[in-house]
């Protein structure tokens, strides 16, 4: 056997794994990861060690890169989030956790004595990021729908008003896709006469849906945020986890360092960075376009309402927050969880109606739950 050829046993191992993933994906309805896009046109780029090391806007001596594509993606997201035209910066991350850590890192460098406030419904990685960065923090209560409790937040900031507040706002919580009201939080800081503050927005899923909904809440730079993280593998869809972080350029310049070895600025969290994921995002954005994303969001909401109606037909109290495509319902029996990729927390569960979810999957899931309930 040639050293460049897999054995028949190894090939079978890969084939079995592929079949397993195909089967699991058919029942993959509880997690916000879209996988129905065809990126085969980009596979030719996989032959090369594409590395976007360092700042995407600064040239590097490492020339096998996709920096131009990455910058185009950053500019597209900057327009989407109404970033200040002459004062924004960003890069493609490996996911929401890195984007959120970057926002917190900037906040810590600007306000080293700051106190981070975040709700009990924020993503699980936030508390980990805070431990890594060694930032003092206070968890705020959440409301029943997953949104932050504004009264608790106001009173807690008031008690600690001598410490600069760093607000970690969630625009689309993990379990219920609840949206923290950035404008209300900003008015709260003004009412308390807080001179220095920082607001980071975790808009992992909703950052790619709210911009395409008429009358949606203002959550972006127009609302007074300082940085934002949006996932790329969720609503856009990517076979590799990725995301986007945007921040005010003048804040990023505070932490920039020049690195002679690669001939560029060190402004990101990671050194070597994935040069393939910017291609995926660029390709999907160019193929779909603004009108395409509007249509997809509308179709997802329609299917989410269909799912709620089907759940209620079998007596389950299903619901969704306004502007959310996450459908929440009582935790189903274990036999259903063994088959379906459903996210659960306590006594609730959810499905996320992304563009790859079909009505037939919802019908099958509801039928399985009903059968398990009546056994």
Domain residues for 322?
Answer: 8-35+289-374
pLDDT, tens digit, 9 for 90 and up, residues 12-58: 999 999 999 999 999 999 999 998 889 999 999 999 999 999 999 99
Residue 293 and residue 280 share a domain: no
State how far the Cα of 181 lies from the Cα of 322, in Å rounded to an integer: 13
Residue 62 and residue 24 share a domain: no
CA atoms within 13 A on the CB side of 200: 33
pLDDT band at 3 (very low <50, low <70, confident <90, very high): low
CATH code at position 214 = 3.40.640.10
Burial class (CB in 10 A: 0-12, 13-18, 19+), 46: exposed
CA atoms within 13 A on the CB side of 352: 22
DSSP string, 109-122: HH-TT-EEEEETTS
Residue 344 and residue 225 share a domain: no
In 3D space, the residue among 279, 206, 243, 208 whose CA is nearest the CA of residue 103 turns out to be 243
Q: Which of 285, 312, 343 is the last residue of a domain?
A: 285
Burial class (CB in 10 A: 0-12, 13-18, 19+), 219: buried
Pairing of strands 264-266, 137-140: unpaired
Continuous segment of H or E residues that includes residue 229: strand 227-231
Residue 181 and residue 96 share a domain: yes
pLDDT band at 265 (very low <50, low <70, confident <90, very high): confident
Residue 50 and residue 115 share a domain: yes
Cβ-contact 244, 42 below 8 angstroms:
no
pLDDT, tens digit, 9 for 90 and up, residues 115-144: 999 999 999 999 999 999 999 999 999 999
Q: Tell whether pTM > 0.85.
A: yes
Residue 78 and residue 55 share a domain: yes
Q: Does the structure show a pLDDT above 80 at 264? A: no
């Amino acid at each position: 056997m040639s050293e460049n050829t897999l054995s028949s046993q190894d090939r079978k191992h890969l084939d079995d794994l592929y079949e397993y993933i195909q089967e699991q994906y058919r029942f993959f309805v509880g997690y916000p990861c879209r996988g129905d896009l065809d990126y085969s046109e980009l596979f030719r780029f996989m032959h090369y060690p594409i590395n976007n090391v360092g700042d995407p806007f600064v040239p590097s001596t490492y020339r096998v890169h996709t920096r131009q594509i990455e910058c185009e993606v950053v500019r597209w997201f900057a327009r989407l989030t109404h970033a200040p035209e002459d004062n924004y910066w960003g890069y493609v991350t490996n996911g929401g956790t890195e984007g959120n850590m970057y926002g917190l890192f900037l906040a810590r460098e600007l306000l080293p004595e700051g106190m981070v406030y975040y709700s009990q419904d924020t993503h699980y990685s936030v508390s980990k990021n805070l431990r890594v960065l060694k930032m003092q923090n206070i968890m705020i209560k959440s409301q029943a729908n997953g949104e932050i409790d504004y009264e608790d937040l106001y009173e807690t900031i008031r008690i600690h008003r001598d410490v600069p507040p760093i607000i970690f706002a969630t625009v689309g919580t993990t379990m219920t896709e609840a949206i923290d009201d950035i404008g209300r939080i900003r008015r709260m800081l003004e009412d308390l006469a807080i001179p220095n503050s920082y607001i980071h927005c975790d808009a992992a899923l909703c950052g790619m849906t709210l911009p395409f909904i008429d009358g949606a809440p203002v959550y972006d730079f127009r609302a007074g945020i300082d940085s934002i993280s949006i996932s790329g593998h969720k609503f856009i869809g990517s076979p590799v986890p990725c995301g986007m972080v945007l921040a005010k350029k003048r804040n990023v310049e505070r932490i920039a360092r020049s690195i002679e070895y690669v001939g560029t600025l060190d402004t990101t969290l990671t050194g070597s960075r994935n040069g393939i994921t910017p291609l995926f995002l660029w390709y999907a954005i160019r193929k779909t376009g603004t009108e395409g994303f509007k249509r997809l969001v509308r179709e997802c909401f329609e299917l989410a309402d269909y799912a709620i109606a089907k759940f209620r037909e079998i007596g389950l109290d299903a619901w969704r927050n306004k502007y959310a495509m996450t459908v929440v319902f009582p935790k189903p029996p274990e036999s259903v969880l063994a088959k379906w990729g459903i996210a659960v927390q306590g006594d609730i569960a959810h499905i996320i109606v992304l563009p790859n979810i079909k009505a037939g999957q919802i019908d099958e899931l509801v039928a399985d739950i009903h059968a398990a309930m009546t056994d």
